[in-house]
């Protein structure tokens, strides 16, 4: 028996083929026919990979040329007015990316992953209607290859919950408009075959829902199930438990419920009611969002314990969520340490894990053939090795972290700031930037040439030094107060540190889709983390030696290091982050001993790590702030600690931000005037704040007047003594031609405002 189930499959292609062809198409270097052809080839390959691995439930409509939420908007005809004059692919990509006359739709993170979806824009003025062609075509496409797929769609409750209203009002008012379209869709689907399985993704059920939303679940699924008796509906949830929704779903006529047992242990509590309901259980037991090899023995035990409630015949063995969130295949990792590679599993390897698990679970270990026996024993060996390998477990690090009992820096923030102002001698409305300056093609080439040993260390370092010299000279010339070195030596703010910390690993081809054609290659934390040697001191002190002004040191904080990496699953996240924090505290001490007076510890991804469930937030905030404070605990009172966060909404987390005890925080408020800054005033925030005065995410150069206006708006909220003036994020993605005038205007604006005060 092989009842294994894959929630969804990566689509970007094992060599990022989809990325390549899309970008060529956007650059007008190929036709849309080429895109479609390429996409068909990828779909075929992905279906065949799954079929060959013995997956019984393979999806169609998990593919997308950009994003599945966007596809759902197109399916429902939820096309914002400004795009209505467009058609087909022009319409589709304009919604995703904007065009000369229409701004793109907003994009935001898919739950607590690093995948971004296109946010639907709903308005009562709009009429919606069904367009099922993509779904139908993809089903036929697979069928023509001899593969009968289940059809994936995003559920109405999740779709609405993730939408925004452009005419204000509540998104769920659209329930009555949307559900009939889903009914219509199912009617069309019912004509496709004698029997069709439809997977309806409702990840929003993994969040705490208010009673109004919960009350929609039963009528939605009662109605959808009524459409046709030849459709079997599986409602699939992931990323957390969904016990509240499960309680309701068991009383609807759906065929199956999908639960994530990797990221939602609490789902175990729903087993008895699922058993009673007689529904199938899609048991998500193979981690779809992390890269560790599944522990087959442990997972078999988990499945056995599940089958104490739900009988075996009713269980389907599944990935915990779509495999979209993991890299494609380990076969491309040629340079990776062999021992470490043994511990990993990417999407293709996960298919084999599912197949092995189902063989053992349904037919017993005795039924394994030679190859399967071999696979099992290799799995057992790898997992045993992970428990004891000295690559992972470093006694010295563990002892060092245990011994680190200094949990925060000395002094009260108010007094610290007074002292710092004396030492640093800056005045009100002090100007600075967030750290990075433009990453030029020459820089990128120098870095990659150096990595490939095409140029010598001396030649590489000379190029970096030249960049720093020019960067410093520009900042002095334009009159910035606190300087930065520009981060020319960093490819990525996490990777740069990861490469220098023991316990961090890297892949060659471990790409994961982030949005559209954009992929990221997150590093992974496999073992205890330590810092063999200083990581930034050389470059920062070099930069400081080039100027009389104060040079700000630049580090990435522990929480961001974690949230942008794959993290080991054999240790609580808070413990891993503490190890990074201790390593960073050593770095900060080295920096200040080398004469650096201001150090910024970026926590760009602090907010991303928030758990989906309110009940778990306290614990996250506790370790996340603890570890930020441990990281900066070595800073002397006169050393000023900055942090930067790529957010503007602080209303929910302001107390936590205060708790982090950074002397200065820079944030992303540029696009919201002074509205979002008000919370800082409201809570009586006493430390200093640098609300971005212009948006760096666009090539537009802000005028002096515009920045003056923005600063004046800020001054309505916070006094000049408390305000820093800076752009709203790092300048790495901008060009020098944009950065130079923009910063010159910013400094000029400050001069004007100061004159008026
Ligand atoms: N210091 C980093 C930079 O300027 C911060 C980037 C970020 O917040 N994403 O690039
Ligand atoms: Zn930022």
**Å from CA of 126 to ligand 1 middle:** 39
**Å from CA of 69 to ligand 2 middle:** 26
692 lines ligand 1 (CB under 6 A): no
In testing the pocket of ligand 1, which one of 727, 732, 734, 743 has its CB within 8 Å of the most ligand atoms? 732
Asked whether the beta carbons of 167 and 124 are under 8 A apart, the reply is: yes
Q: Which residue's C-alpha comes closest to atom 4 of ligand 1? A: 730
**Å from CA of 467 to ligand 1 middle:** 18
494 lines ligand 1 (CB under 6 A): no
Q: Which residue's C-alpha comes closest to atom 9 of ligand 1? A: 604
Gap between the terminal Cα atoms of the chain: 78
Band of residue 1 on the pLDDT scale cut at 50, 70, 90: low
**Å from CA of 557 to ligand 1 middle:** 11
Q: What is the DSSP string of 263-280?
A: S-GGGGGGHHHHHHHT-E
Asked whether the beta carbons of 726 and 434 are under 8 A apart, the reply is: yes
**Å from CA of 437 to ligand 1 middle:** 10
**Å from CA of 189 to ligand 2 middle:** 45
> Which atom of ligand 1 is least distant from the CA of 490?
10
In terms of residues, how long is the chain?
757
490 lines ligand 1 (CB under 6 A): no
Can you give the pLDDT at residue 649? 86
**Å from CA of 548 to ligand 2 middle:** 27
493 lines ligand 1 (CB under 6 A): yes
Look at residue 589 and tell me whether its pLDDT is greater than 60: yes
> Which atom of ligand 1 is least distant from the CA of 644?
8
729 lines ligand 1 (CB under 6 A): yes
Q: Please calculate the CA angle 427-431-437 and round it to the nearest 5 degrees.
A: 155
Look at residue 620 and tell me whether its pLDDT is greater than 70: yes
Can you give the pLDDT at residue 698? 86
97 lines ligand 1 (CB under 6 A): no
Q: Ligand nearest 560 Cα, by number?
A: 1
Can you give the pLDDT at residue 100? 87
Longest dimension (CA), the chain: 84
In testing the pocket of ligand 1, which one of 114, 432, 433, 435 has its CB within 8 Å of the most ligand atoms? 435
664 lines ligand 1 (CB under 6 A): no
**Å from CA of 674 to ligand 1 middle:** 22
Asked whether the beta carbons of 273 and 247 are under 8 A apart, the reply is: yes
Which residues are bridge partners to 316 per DSSP? 282
Q: What is the DSSP string of 613-655?
A: SGGGHHHHHHHHHHHHHHHHTT--TTSEEEEE-S-S--TTTHH
Alpha-carbon distance of 640 to 409, in angstroms, equals: 11
Spell 586-625 as b/e; 16+ CB within 10 A means b: bbbbbbbeeebbbbbbbbbbbbbbbbbeeeeeeebbebbb
User: What is the average per-residue pLDDT within 284-313?
Assistant: 98
Q: Which residue's C-alpha comes closest to atom 5 of ligand 1? A: 730
Alpha-carbon distance of 431 to 743, in angstroms, equals: 10
Please give the backbone phi and psi of residue 392, each rounded to the nearest 5 degrees, phi first.
Answer: -95, -45
646 lines ligand 1 (CB under 6 A): yes
In the chain, pLDDT over 70 holds for what percent of residues? 100
> Which atom of ligand 1 is least distant from the CA of 556?
1
Asked whether the beta carbons of 651 and 685 are under 8 A apart, the reply is: no
**Å from CA of 728 to ligand 1 middle:** 10
604 lines ligand 1 (CB under 6 A): yes
What rounded mean pLDDT belongs to the chain?
96
Can you give the pLDDT at residue 59? 98
Q: What count of other Cβ atoms lies within 10 Å of the Cβ of residue 719?
A: 9
Q: Which residue's C-alpha comes closest to atom 7 of ligand 1? A: 604
231 lines ligand 1 (CB under 6 A): no
602 lines ligand 1 (CB under 6 A): yes
In testing the pocket of ligand 1, which one of 471, 644, 664 has its CB within 8 Å of the most ligand atoms? 644
Q: Ligand nearest 668 Cα, by number?
A: 2
105 lines ligand 1 (CB under 6 A): no
599 lines ligand 1 (CB under 6 A): no
Band of residue 353 on the pLDDT scale cut at 50, 70, 90: very high
241 included as an active-site residue: no
Q: Which residue's C-alpha comes closest to atom 8 of ligand 1? A: 604
**Å from CA of 400 to ligand 2 middle:** 32
Can you give the pLDDT at residue 23? 96
**Torsion sign, CA atoms 8, 10, 12, 14:** negative
Distances (CA, A) of 573 to 143, 563, 580, 622, 625: 43, 10, 11, 12, 13
User: What is the average per-residue pLDDT within 404-415?
Assistant: 94
434 lines ligand 1 (CB under 6 A): yes
Read off the pTM. 0.95
Q: Ligand nearest 733 Cα, by number?
A: 1
732 lines ligand 1 (CB under 6 A): yes
User: What is the average per-residue pLDDT within 702-712?
Assistant: 97
Q: Ligand nearest 647 Cα, by number?
A: 2
Can you give the pLDDT at residue 671? 79
In testing the pocket of ligand 1, which one of 563, 602, 603, 690 has its CB within 8 Å of the most ligand atoms? 602
Q: Please calculate the CA angle 10-16-21 and round it to the nearest 5 degrees.
A: 115
Alpha-carbon distance of 178 to 472, in angstroms, equals: 56
Return the closest-CA partner of residue 648 out of 697, 598, 692.
692
Please give the backbone phi and psi of residue 235, each rounded to the nearest 5 degrees, phi first.
Answer: -95, 120
696 lines ligand 1 (CB under 6 A): no
Q: Ligand nearest 603 Cα, by number?
A: 1
235 lines ligand 1 (CB under 6 A): no
- Show Cβ contacts of residue 505 under 8 Å, excluding neighbours closer than 6 positions: 336, 337, 340, 523, 524, 525, 526
SS3 assignment for 328-374: CCHHHCCCCCHHHHCCECCHHHHHHHHHHHHHHHHHCHHHCCHHHHH
Q: Computed over its alpha carbons, how large is the radius of gyration of the chain? A: 27
Can you give the pLDDT at residue 168? 86
Look at residue 303 and tell me whether its pLDDT is greater than 80: yes
Look at residue 408 and tell me whether its pLDDT is greater than 60: yes
Alpha-carbon distance of 149 to 160, in angstroms, equals: 26
Q: Domains (ranges, CATH) in the chain?
A: 4-388 (3.20.20.210), 414-611+618-756 (3.20.20.210)
**Å from CA of 84 to ligand 1 middle:** 37
Q: Which residue's C-alpha comes closest to atom 1 of ligand 1? A: 435
Asked whether the beta carbons of 336 and 508 are under 8 A apart, the reply is: yes
Return the closest-CA partner of residue 691 out of 721, 671, 662, 661.
671
**Å from CA of 692 to ligand 2 middle:** 9
- Kindly state the helix (H) or strand (E) to which residue 231 belongs, with its residue range: strand 231-236
Q: Which residue's C-alpha comes closest to atom 6 of ligand 1? A: 730
User: What is the average per-residue pLDDT within 419-442?
Assistant: 97
Q: Which residue's C-alpha comes closest to atom 3 of ligand 1? A: 730
User: What is the average per-residue pLDDT within 98-121?
Assistant: 93
């Amino acid at each position: 028996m092989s009842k294994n189930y894959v929630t969804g499959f990566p689509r970007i292609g094992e060599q990022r083929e989809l990325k390549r062809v899309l970008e060529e198409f956007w650059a007008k270097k190929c036709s849309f026919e080429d895109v479609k052809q390429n996409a068909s080839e990828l779909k075929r390959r992905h279906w065949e990979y799954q079929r060959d691995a013995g997956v019984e439930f393979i999806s169609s409509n998990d593919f997308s040329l950009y994003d599945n939420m966007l596809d759902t908007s197109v399916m429902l005809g939820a096309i914002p007015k400004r795009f209505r004059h467009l058609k087909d692919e022009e319409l589709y990509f304009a919604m995703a990316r904007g065009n000369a006359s229409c701004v793109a739709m907003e994009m935001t993170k898919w739950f607590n992953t690093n995948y971004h979806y296109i946010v639907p824009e709903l308005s009562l003025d709009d009429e919606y209607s069904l367009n099922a062609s993509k779904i139908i075509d993809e089903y036929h496409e697979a069928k023509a290859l001899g593969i009968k797929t289940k059809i994936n769609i995003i559920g109405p409750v999740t779709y609405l919950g993730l939408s925004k209203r452009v005419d204000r009002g509540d998104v769920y008012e659209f329930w009555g408009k949307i559900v009939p379209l889903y009914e219509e869709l199912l009617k069309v689907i019912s004509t496709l075959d004698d029997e069709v399985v439809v997977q309806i993704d409702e990840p929003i059920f993994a969040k705490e829902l208010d009673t109004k939303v919960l009350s929609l679940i039963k009528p939605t699924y009662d109605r959808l199930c009524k459409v046709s008796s030849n459709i079997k509906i599986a409602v699939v949830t992931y990323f957390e438990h969904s016990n509240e929704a499960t309680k309701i779903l068991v009383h609807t006529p759906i065929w199956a419920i999908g639960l994530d047992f990797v990221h939602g242990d609490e789902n175990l509590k729903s087993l008895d009611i699922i058993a009673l309901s007689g529904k199938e259980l899609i048991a998500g037991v193979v981690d779809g969002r992390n890269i560790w090899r599944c522990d087959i023995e442990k997972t078999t035990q988990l499945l056995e314990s599940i089958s104490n409630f739900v009988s075996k015949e009713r269980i389907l063995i599944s990935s915990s969520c779509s495999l979209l969130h993991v890299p494609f295949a380990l076969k491309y990792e040629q340079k990776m340490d062999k021992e470490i590679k043994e511990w990993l599993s990417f999407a293709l390897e996960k298919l084999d894990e599912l197949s092995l698990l189902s063989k053992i679970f349904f037919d017993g270990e005795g039924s394994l053939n030679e190859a399967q026996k071999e696979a099992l024993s290799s799995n057992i060996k790898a997992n045993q090795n992970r428990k004891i390998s000295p690559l992972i477990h470093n006694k010295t690090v563990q002892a060092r972290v245990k011994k680190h009992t200094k949990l925060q820096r000395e002094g009260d923030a108010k007094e610290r700031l007074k002292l710092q102002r004396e030492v640093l001698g800056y005045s009100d409305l002090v100007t600075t930037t967030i750290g990075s300056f433009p990453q030029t093609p020459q820089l990128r080439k120098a870095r990659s040439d150096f990595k490939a040993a095409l140029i010598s260390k001396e030649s590489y370092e000379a190029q970096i030094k030249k960049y720093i010299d020019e960067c410093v000279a520009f900042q002095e010339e334009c009159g910035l107060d606190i300087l930065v070195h520009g981060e020319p030596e960093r490819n990525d703010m996490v990777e740069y540190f990861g490469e220098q910390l023991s316990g961090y690993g890297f892949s060659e081809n471990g790409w994961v889709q982030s949005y559209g054609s954009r992929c990221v290659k997150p590093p992974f934390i496999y073992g205890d983390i330590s810092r063999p040697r200083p990581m930034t001191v050389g470059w920062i002190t070099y930069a400081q030696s080039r100027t009389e002004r104060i040079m700000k040191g630049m580090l990435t904080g522990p929480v961001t290091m974690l949230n942008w990496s794959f993290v080991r699953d054999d240790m609580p996240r808070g413990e891993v982050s503490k190890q990074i924090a201790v390593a960073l505290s050593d770095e900060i001490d080295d920096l200040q001993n080398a004469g650096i007076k201001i150090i910024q510890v970026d926590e760009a991804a602090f907010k991303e790590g928030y758990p989906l469930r309110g009940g778990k937030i306290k614990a996250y905030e506790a370790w996340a702030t603890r570890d930020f404070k441990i990281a900066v605990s070595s800073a002397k009172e006169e050393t000023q600690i900055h942090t930067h966060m790529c957010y503007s909404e602080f209303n929910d987390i302001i107390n936590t931000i205060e708790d982090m005890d950074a002397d200065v925080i820079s944030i992303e408020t540029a696009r919201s005037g002074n509205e979002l800054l008000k919370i800082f005033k409201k809570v009586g925030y006493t430390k200093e704040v640098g609300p971005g005065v212009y948006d760096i995410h666009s090539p537009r150069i802000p005028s002096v007047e515009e920045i003056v206006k923005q600063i004046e708006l800020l001054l309505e909220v916070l006094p000049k003594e408390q305000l820093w003036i800076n752009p709203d994020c790092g300048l790495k993605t901008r060009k020098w031609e944009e950065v130079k005038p923009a910063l010159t205007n910013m400094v000029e604006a400050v001069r004007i405002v100061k004159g008026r005060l």
